[in-house]
């Protein structure tokens, strides 16, 4: 059960009481991320997230901010993606007032001091260097780059080093003013709470939030006529790759069939690709297929880390499975297993107060609609074997096929020759 309340200023409050927990999680979610940026300020959403932990009018520095929740054994952090930025705090329920005051303080009262901005540039650049040195993470950035190119959806969330170095207080303040507004923000409380009481407290703590109209993002442009690839040269011990296709956004009626298709392909340890590539041939430690859906973009992608000499074979095996789904019907048993797996996975993922917060709040932010697990399961149950085949026929086409790869390769022609579906 959850309750959604909209205040007069447009701020949305979601409360999720949970009987079997002694914790409370507060999540403040804002509808802004790297898709809302221009080339000149790419990375600013992530930079601003960092600055919220550097000092407020009440807590003058990072130590005072951290100690507030450390003293009560709390957990806290923040995150930035291409369409949202979130700040959260999770504590034992007796300390929920402390956590709510804390998260509202960093959200509304951060000082954004120039000296802290200059210091944080080095921190973020080292974070970027860490990603660049971690192919299993960086391959995701390259995948989005090959899909969307030189537009916000194809840029790194963390930004480029030049932009990080050139960040100023004025840029951060302007961005904060244009996006961190009441109508673009959701505050969620989940766990051992009294919904009516916590609503009143949230309204009190967030009464100063700006209520100006927030800026909108530019719609993503997708244009592709043939298979595309991006090969990033790096002397690695193994090659990391993402191979997949453009697919469906959050509002597409076939997105649930896409979820099940991805599950059957490579969503778990008994999936087709996991068994064939890892268990039967021993070609990879990790191989997985996942669907990704945002408000205006979507894809299905298979990721794997393999020995350099086996890259071609693995690409061929993945594409062989893609072709199978396009040309054949799956079995009733496969479909039932995928549905049961999905349902069980959802229930397992919703055991904690922080996961409940994320589940309901992200739906409200991105879709302006919240479905309960059972409502989603009804949509999953309606998916048929023919639906899976129709989706496969629609997405597994040459003009939707893409490959991103990190490894000791400088030429991509030999990989392009493999991209046939």
Q: What is the dihedral of CA 161, 163, 169, 175, to 10 degrees?
A: -130
Question: 369: helix, coil or strand?
Answer: coil
Quick one: pLDDT at residue 54? 98
Q: Is 250 helix (H, G, I), strand (E, B) or coil?
A: coil
Would you say 267 and 289 are in contact if contact means Cβ atoms under 8 Å apart? yes
Contact 30, 79 (CB under 8 A): no
Give the pTM.
0.96
> In the annotation, is 351 catalytic?
no
User: Could you tell me the two tokens for 202?
Assistant: 């949230």
Total residue count of the chain as it appears in this document: 421
Strands 228-233 and 284-293: unpaired
Q: Hey, which bits of 63-201 come out as E strands?
A: 75-80, 85-92, 185-191
Note down pLDDT in tens along the chain; length 421 residues: 899 999 999 999 999 999 999 999 999 999 999 999 999 999 999 999 999 999 999 999 999 999 999 999 999 999 999 999 999 999 999 999 999 999 999 999 999 999 999 999 999 999 999 999 999 999 999 999 999 999 999 999 999 999 999 999 999 999 999 999 999 999 999 999 999 999 999 999 999 999 998 889 989 999 999 999 999 999 999 999 999 999 999 999 999 999 999 999 999 999 999 999 999 999 999 999 999 999 999 999 999 999 999 999 999 999 999 999 999 999 999 999 999 999 999 999 999 999 999 999 999 999 999 999 999 999 999 999 999 999 999 999 999 999 999 999 999 999 999 999 9
Q: Which of 49, 116, 120, 364 is catalytic?
A: 49
Please give the pLDDT value at position 1: 86
Rounded CA-CA distance 421/413 in Å is 17
Compute, in degrees rounded to 10, the torsion defined by CA atoms 96, 100, 102, 106: 160
- Is-contact 25 78, C-beta < 8 A? no
From residue 188, give the alpha-carbon distance in Å to each of 204, 232, 235.
Answer: 14, 40, 45
Per-residue pLDDT, 96? 98
Question: Which domains can be identified in the chain, with CATH numbers?
Answer: 3-205 (3.30.830.10), 228-416 (3.30.830.10)
Task: Return all residues near 90 (Cβ < 8 A) that are at least 6 apart.
Answer: 23, 24, 25, 26, 74, 75, 76, 99, 353, 354
């Amino acid at each position: 059960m959850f309750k959604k309340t909209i205040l007069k200023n447009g701020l949305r409050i979601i409360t999720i009481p949970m009987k079997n927990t002694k914790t409370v999680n507060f999540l403040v979610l804002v509808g802004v991320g790297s898709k809302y940026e221009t080339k000149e300020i790419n990375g600013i959403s992530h930079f601003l997230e960092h600055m919220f932990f550097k000092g407020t009018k009440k807590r003058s520095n990072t130590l005072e901010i951290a100690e507030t929740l450390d003293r009560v054994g709390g957990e806290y952090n923040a995150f930035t993606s291409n369409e949202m930025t979130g700040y959260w705090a999770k504590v034992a329920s007796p300390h929920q007032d402390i956590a709510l005051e804390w998260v509202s303080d960093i959200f509304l009262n951060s000082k954004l001091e120039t000296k802290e901005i200059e210091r944080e540039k080095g921190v973020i650049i080292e974070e970027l260097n860490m990603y660049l040195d971690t192919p299993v993470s960086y391959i995701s950035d390259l995948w989005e780059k090959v899909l969307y190119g030189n537009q916000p959806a194809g840029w790194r969330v963390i930004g480029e080093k030049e932009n990080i170095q050139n960040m100023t207080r004025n840029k951060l303040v302007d961005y904060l003013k244009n996006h961190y507004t009441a109508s673009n923000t959701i505050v969620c409380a989940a766990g051992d709470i009294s919904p009516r009481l916590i609503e009143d407290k949230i309204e009190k703590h967030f009464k100063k939030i700006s209520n100006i109209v927030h800026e909108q993002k530019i719609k993503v442009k997708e244009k592709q006529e043939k298979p595309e690839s991006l090969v990033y040269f790096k002397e690695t011990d193994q090659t990391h790759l993402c191979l997949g296709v453009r697919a469906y956004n959050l509002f597409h009626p076939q997105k649930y069939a896409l979820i099940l298709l991805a599950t059957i392909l490579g969503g778990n340890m008994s999936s087709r690709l996991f068994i064939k590539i890892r268990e039967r041939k021993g070609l990879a430690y990790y191989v997985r297929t996942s669907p990704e859906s945002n408000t205006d973009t979507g894809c299905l992608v298979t990721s794997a880390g393999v020995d350099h000499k086996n890259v071609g074979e693995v690409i061929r095996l993945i594409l062989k499975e893609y072709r199978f789904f396009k040309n054949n019907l799956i079995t009733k048993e496969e479909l039932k297993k995928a549905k049961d797996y999905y349902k069980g996975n959802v229930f397992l993922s919703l055991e904690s107060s922080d996961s409940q917060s994320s589940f309901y709040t992200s739906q409200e932010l991105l879709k302006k609609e919240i479905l309960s697990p059972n409502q989603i399961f009804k949509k999953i149950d309606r998916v048929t074997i023919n639906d899976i085949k129709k989706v496969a026929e629609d997405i597994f086409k040459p003009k939707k096929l893409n490959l991103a790869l990190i490894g000791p390769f400088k030429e991509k022609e030999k990989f392009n020759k493999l991209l046939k579906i």
